[in-house]
Structure 1
Amino acid sequence: MALVLSLLGGALVIIGAYSVITPVPPQGDVSFTLEHYRRFFGTSYYLSVLWDSLVIAIGTTLLAFLLGYPAAYLLATTDSEHKNLYLLMLILPFWINVVVRTYAWRLILGSGGLVDWVLYDVTGVANESVQLLYSRGAIAIGLVHVFLPFMIIPIYVSLASIDRSGVEAAKNLGANRLVAFTEVTWPQSLPGVAAGVLLVFVMSFGAFVVPSLLGGRANIMIANVIGDMFGQLQEWGLGSAISMVFIVVVLTIVYVFNRWVNLGDVYGMGGDSE
């Protein structure tokens, strides 16, 4: 804990300081300023990118949940002798670098790629070459592919820990499969759902590699803007201000999510979770 606090906390303190001083990096005398924040909030481009990043992160989280919950449910309830193989296939993507996986999507979604070949050359559904690359949809597909295991694994752990006799008891008392699911299975799987949603949302919101490779310059996300500020543009002050705004937005969303879902009750901690 001390190591994490000293490294991450120390870096956060430096970023916070850089966001309110000039010049950055410090050279000689420095002075307090809010100019970096004024530039951020006064430029519609940065606000637009932040909003687009939020929309993409929410869409990615929703798609990951819709795909991940059924998969986790089937994994948790199956009695197949190949269950361990299915679990291995679930974690197998972690063994492959995210850059390699993202470049694979470039070959699938790009002009002359697999989707283009099927829709244009094979089936003739499309009247012209299909270019799905460099779009928000391409970013969402790439993010779902990368972060889907982070949604499935927590939900699977919650579902696998449920006592199936409770479901059978509900059915014996007259509940159909849907009622048994909504009254018994779903409430007990909420810890995994909450964990998966938070993981996927936060990581998608701050994604850097996938939007860089699949979105192009016209569909970048907020992490790409921050990276450019510190790298190409050498605008460390503005980059620090954007970073601090991003952190505040993420913490605010997590707080609201906590108030809405009440993570304390979900995880059985009791009391009023703040």
Structure 2
Amino acid sequence: MSDATLPAVAAAPRFRLNLPLGVAIGVSWILLMLAVAVLADVISPYAYTALDLRNRLSPPVGMGGVWAHPLGTDELGRDVLSRLIYSIRMSLLIAFGATIIGAVFGTTMGFLAAHFRGWVEQAVLALVDFSASLPFLILALAVLAFFGNSLSLFIVLLGFHAWERYARIARGLAISAGAQGYAAAVRQLGAGPLRVYGRHILPNIASTLIVSMTLAFPEIILLESGLSFLGLGVQPPSTSLGNMVGYGREYLTRAPWILLAPAFTIITTTLAVSMVGDWLRDRLDPTLR
């Protein structure tokens, strides 16, 4: 190798991802929660419905408990750690499903308003204003009390939370894209509406929508926890983080570990997602650069 090639080798670029400490911790926690949800059947020491009546209300390790139940047991002798692992899976499933439903529905409505304009746009905007002014918790309580509760209905119902946020963003950015001219140019070349919005407009506004999804995700987790706490969310024998908090409130003075473990998980997960969402907004939003 000649000496002339040495500077080129020494100057080879190095790719580094510089994350603030808080964001790095948030990303690590989110990845940990996803790994727990995916590997729940493998890492869970017991079935979440398994009973151990001899160790009812057993405290966690460090408070006089045994390593067989490191986070203690509940009033029926069920292992809190196992129930926490499966609750994380259920809560993340609901949060991801509801967030995707809300984003898809809201973006579609926003594109319809931007494409047709006129009375279609006015109808969508009126629906958006009505949805934003209606207390969602009251609506959810009414729907679940009237139609009964099922996991699919619960996820779809939560999916309509804050869908108007995506509709406003998609409408405004689609109109702006039309004003910039590239959408009209593609349309003049013979592209249909699906191609124009799906292949050209949507990729240009995807970053803004992704940031909105990361900000709405913790709201869905908290809403699911609140409804499950009230007994209108996930129903036994299934379990979720809010479900665990709801059952643990009756033993707050005698066995606080039943409630504290899922409550800590809810707080930490929502905080981590919010921190990552704020960081993504600062990195991807051109108006904040």
Q: TM over 0.5, yes or no?
A: yes
Relative to structure 1, the CA distance from residue 178 to residue 71 in structure 2 (aligned partners, 3 Å threshold; closer, same or farther) is: closer
* Partner SS state of residue 39, structure 1: coil
Two-structure CA RMSD over aligned residues (Å): 3.7
Q: Deviations over 1:148-205 (max 9, x none)?
A: 3343333334334334322112334565555543553113322441233223322222
* Partner SS state of residue 155, structure 2: helix
Q: Which amino acid aligns with 1:239?
A: L
Stretch of structure 1 that moved more, 249-258 or 194-203: 249-258
Cα contact 2:103–2:213 (8 A) shared by 1? yes
Aligned counterparts of 1:257 and 1:65: Cα–Cα separation in 2? 15
Aligned counterparts of 2:117 and 2:283: Cα–Cα separation in 1? 31
Q: Which residue of 1 aligns with 2:171?
A: 156
Give 2:203's match in structure 1, choosing from 187, 202, 206.
Answer: 187
Cα contact 2:99–2:217 (8 A) shared by 1? yes
Cα contact 1:154–1:196 (8 A) shared by 2? no
| Aligned: 1:239 with 2:254 | no
Relative to structure 1, the CA distance from residue 149 to residue 179 in structure 2 (aligned partners, 3 Å threshold; closer, same or farther) is: closer
Aligned counterparts of 2:199 and 2:62: Cα–Cα separation in 1? 52
Q: Which amino acid aligns with 1:244?
A: F
Aligned counterparts of 2:137 and 2:274: Cα–Cα separation in 1? 28
Name the count of aligned residue pairs. 213
Structure 1 residue 80: Cα displacement: 1.0
Aligned counterparts of 1:153 and 1:270: Cα–Cα separation in 2? 19
Aligned counterparts of 2:172 and 2:246: Cα–Cα separation in 1? 35
Q: Which runs of 5+ in 2 are unaligned?
A: 1-60, 73-78
Give 1:59's match in structure 2, choosing from 97, 113, 131.
Answer: 97
Q: Deviations over 1:88-143 (max 9, x none)?
A: 22121333333431233236533xxxxxxxxxxxxxxxxxxxxxx2x311211221
Q: Which residue of 1 aligns with 2:244?
A: 225
Relative to structure 1, the CA distance from residue 177 to residue 151 in structure 2 (aligned partners, 3 Å threshold; closer, same or farther) is: closer
Aligned counterparts of 1:248 and 1:197: Cα–Cα separation in 2? 18
Relative to structure 1, the CA distance from residue 69 to residue 48 in structure 2 (aligned partners, 3 Å threshold; closer, same or farther) is: same
Structure 1 residue 87: Cα displacement: 1.0
TM-score by length of 2: 0.59
Q: Which residue of 1 aligns with 2:151?
A: 136
Q: Which residue of 1 aligns with 2:115?
A: 77
Q: Which amino acid aligns with 1:141?
A: V
Q: Which residue of 1 aligns with 2:160?
A: 145
Cα contact 2:71–2:257 (8 A) shared by 1? no
Overall identity of the aligned pairs, in %: 15
Q: Which residue of 1 aligns with 2:143?
A: 105
Q: Which residue of 2 aligns with 1:204?
A: 220
Relative to structure 1, the CA distance from residue 177 to residue 141 in structure 2 (aligned partners, 3 Å threshold; closer, same or farther) is: closer
Aligned counterparts of 2:164 and 2:283: Cα–Cα separation in 1? 25
Cα contact 1:151–1:199 (8 A) shared by 2? no
Relative to structure 1, the CA distance from residue 244 to residue 266 in structure 2 (aligned partners, 3 Å threshold; closer, same or farther) is: same
| Aligned: 1:50 with 2:66 | no
Relative to structure 1, the CA distance from residue 251 to residue 49 in structure 2 (aligned partners, 3 Å threshold; closer, same or farther) is: same
Relative to structure 1, the CA distance from residue 139 to residue 183 in structure 2 (aligned partners, 3 Å threshold; closer, same or farther) is: closer
Q: Which has the larger radius of gyration?
A: 2
Give 1:171's match in structure 2, choosing from 174, 187, 190.
Answer: 187
The higher-RCO structure (CA 8 Å, 6+ apart) is: 1
